[in-house]
């Protein structure tokens, strides 16, 4: 897996977070790691088909996701990840991935994305463990969003 496949997702995530969450995220170090679905996290999984196949998974601690959803809802405080919260965080993943697929298309790479699948860590036991390219985005005052790309 080439490291540059994560760049469109990184660029897109930074742009979307700046627009929607209104913070400028800083980028951590790129690495390869085994995907581990850990407790108290929300996972947004989006499939990709076409000239690139695989999955993109955004991992967010639940309290960070709640803060992000609160900002997306105009500052309304969200205390639990209900249906409305899942819809909002799902849409964030969809916006990032859709924007990344446009970037890829502009680079001559044709891809389609699947609708986002939002999971809590207690519902991820059926997922296959894989290695992924991973890069964290740090949002000051909010927390971290991990971008994990498993593309073949």
Give the per-residue pLDDT at 35: 74
- Over residues 137-149, the pLDDT tens digits come to 999 999 999 999 8
Give the per-residue pLDDT at 145: 94
For the chain, domain boundaries:
3-151
DSSP annotation of 25 reads P
Angle (CA) 117-119-124 rounded to 5° is: 115
What CATH number is given for 3-151 in this structure? 3.40.1550.10
The span from the CA of 45 to the CA of 27, in Å, is 20
- Over residues 98-152, the pLDDT tens digits come to 999 999 999 999 999 999 999 886 655 555 567 888 999 999 999 999 999 888 7
Q: What are phi and psi of 87, to 5 degrees?
A: -65, -45
């Amino acid at each position: 897996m080439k490291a540059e496949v994560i760049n469109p997702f990184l660029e897109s995530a930074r742009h979307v977070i700046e627009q929607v969450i209104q913070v400028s995220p800083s980028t951590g170090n790129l690495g390869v790691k085994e995907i581990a679905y850990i407790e108290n996290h929300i996972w947004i999984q989006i499939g990709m088909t076409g000239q690139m196949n695989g999955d993109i998974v955004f991992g967010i601690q639940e309290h960070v996701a709640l803060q992000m959803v609160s900002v997306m809802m105009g500052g309304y405080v969200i205390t639990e990840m209900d249906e409305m919260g899942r819809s909002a965080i799902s849409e964030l993943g969809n916006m990032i991935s859709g924007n990344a697929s446009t970037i890829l298309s502009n680079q001559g790479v044709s891809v389609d994305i699947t609708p986002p699948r939002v999971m809590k860590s207690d519902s991820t036991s059926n997922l296959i463990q894989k290695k992924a390219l991973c890069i964290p985005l740090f949002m000051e005052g909010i927390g971290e969003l991990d971008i994990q790309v498993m593309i073949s």
